[in-house]
Amino acid sequence: MKLHCRFIFQYSSPATAEKIRDSLEVDNYRFIQTKLDNDKLIAEIESDSLMSLLHTTEDYLSCLSTAENMIAQTKKNLSEDR
């Protein structure tokens, strides 16, 4: 039996959603499929076991949080330089 999980993350702009997606794409391999819908990042995970789904989800959300924090810090630094 296949298990499926879908996350939809909404950002302030399509460019931000794209930056987040691009920064995570290298780690997704074949475990996570992502697509953009305007300012939304849609991530879909499929697994054969619940534990595998949970581990993949936990890893993805951790990487997502890091990417979001990096973009937020970069925006803050750029606005302080002005």
- In the chain, domain spans: 3-81
pTM over 0.85: yes
Report how far residue 22's alpha carbon sits from residue 43's, in angstroms, rounded to the nearest whole number: 12
Say what the alpha-carbon torsion angle 45, 3, 5, 51 is, to the nearest 10 degrees.
Answer: -80
33 strand-pairing partners? 44
Is residue 27 scored above 80 in pLDDT?
Answer: no
The pLDDT value given to residue 55: 94
- Inter-residue contact 38 to 27 (CB < 8 Å): no
User: pLDDT grade, residue 75 (50/70/90)?
Assistant: confident
CATH architecture of 3-81: 2-Layer Sandwich (3.30)
Average pLDDT of the segment spanning 8-37:
92
